[in-house]
Amino acid sequence: MSETLLSVRDLKVSFDVKPDNAWFWQKPAALKAVDGVSFDLKAGETLGIVGESGCGKSTLARAVIGLVKAKSGSILWENEELTTLSAKALREKRREIQMIFQDPLASLNPRMTIGEIIAEPLKTFHPQYGKAETERLVKEMMIKVGLLPDLINRYPHEFSGGQCQRIGIARALILKPKLIICDEPVSALDVSIQAQVVNLLKAVQQEMGLTLIFIAHDLSVVKHISDRVLVMYLGNAVELGTDSEVYGRPAHPYTRALMSAVPLPDPEAERNKVIQLLPGDLPSPINPPSGCVFRTRCPQADGDCAQSRPQWLGQGTHFTACLKNKAA
C-alpha cells in the first residue's frame, strides 16, 4: 500500500471582508472560504477537486502549499505539521510541493526569458549549480514537456497559451517535487490543447512518480486524470470517492446534479438524459445556511437539515456528508 504523503484534517480558511456600504466602525465579516475539509493523499495518486466557482477549491490548494494561511486545522506533509512551521522552514518544503496556475501567461514574468523562468527555482534552491549545469537541466526539462530547447532565450509573449502552460509545468517540475498542485491548468486553453496538456501531466506523473492534486471545472477532464475525486460546495467537502464511485453512483444530491450535466459519448443517451437543475443561487460564504450548507438548493432537504451539520460518513473509499444519504 502506498504511503500517505499529505493528510489534511478539519482545515478552515477565512478572510475578513467589509461590505462596500459598511461604516468605518463596523467590524469586518468572516468569509468562510474553506470550512472544515479533510482528506488523505497517497504517493503516486491523483486527487481531483471539483465544484462550482467560489466553492473554495483554489483556496484549499493555496492553503496546502502555504500561499494563504489556515485559520485552524492540520496539514501533515510526510507526518510533519506544515501549519506550525516558520516561514523559512515552509520555504524549504516548497521544493517538494509545487504549483501550476490557471492562467499560463499571467503566471510567467514577461521580462524574463523562458530559460530564466524555468531556471528560477534552481537558482533559489540550488545556487551551487553553475551556468552550464543550470542550462543543461533547463533544456532537458524543456524537451520533457515538449518544448524545443532552441527556444530557451525567447520571451513568454512569443508563445501560445498551450506552450506557456508547458513552460509553467517545466518550472514546477525542475526541482523534481513529490507533489504538484494543478489549479485549473487547462481551463484557459482550447479543447484540443487541453487534451495535450492533460496527457502530458499523466506522462510525466508516470515517469517521475509524481502525486497530483488536480482542480478543474470540466468533470470529464477530472474523470480522465483522477484516481479519486473530492466534491466541494460552499467551502465544504460533500463527497469523496474513487472516480468510478463518484461518477458511477454519486451519493450526495449536489454530486448527482453535477454528474447529470456531464456530456455522454452516446448521442441517444445524451438526448434522453435528465439534467438535474438546482434551484436558486449559491449562498454567500459570509452568511452560509445553518446546518447543511446545501439545504437551500437540495430537493431532499427538510427541517433536520437546518438544525444539524452532516458528518463525514461512508464505507471503504466512498464518503459523503449528507443527512439523507450514505455512501455505499
Write the pLDDT tens digit of every residue in 280-323.
Answer: 888 888 889 999 999 999 988 888 899 988 988 888 899 999 98
* Residue 16 contacts residue 28 (beta carbons within 8 Å): yes
- Nearest partner of 232 among 39, 81, 70, judged by Cα: 39
The CATH topology of domain 4-18+26-96+177-238 is Rossmann fold (3.40.50)
* Length, in residues, of the chain: 328
Count of other CB atoms within 10 angstroms of residue 287: 11
| 328: pLDDT strictly greater than 50 | no
Average pLDDT, the chain: 90
**Displacement of CA 85 from its chain's centroid (Å):** 22
Which sequence spans correspond to the domains of the chain? 4-18+26-96+177-238
User: What gap in Å lies between CA 164 and CA 104, rounded to an integer?
Assistant: 5
| 326: pLDDT strictly greater than 80 | no
Most confident of the ranges 238-252, 258-272, 305-319 = 238-252
Write the pLDDT tens digit of every residue in 90-102.
Answer: 888 889 999 999 8
Q: How confident is the model at residue 274 (pLDDT cuts 50, 70, 90)?
A: confident
Count of other CB atoms within 10 angstroms of residue 291: 17
Higher pLDDT, 189 or 57: 57
- pLDDT of res. 24: 74
- pLDDT of res. 48: 96
Which pTM does this prediction carry?
Answer: 0.91
Write the pLDDT tens digit of every residue in 119-155.
Answer: 999 999 999 999 999 999 999 999 999 999 999 999 9
| 59, 184, 232, 281 from 53: Cα distances, Å | 11, 11, 10, 12
User: What gap in Å lies between CA 164 and CA 173, rounded to an integer?
Assistant: 14
Backbone angles phi, psi at 171, to 5 degrees: -60, -40
Could you tell me the three cell numbers for 309? 451539520
| 14: pLDDT strictly greater than 80 | yes
Q: How confident is the model at residue 1 (pLDDT cuts 50, 70, 90)?
A: very low
Percent of the chain residues past pLDDT 90, beyond the cut: 64
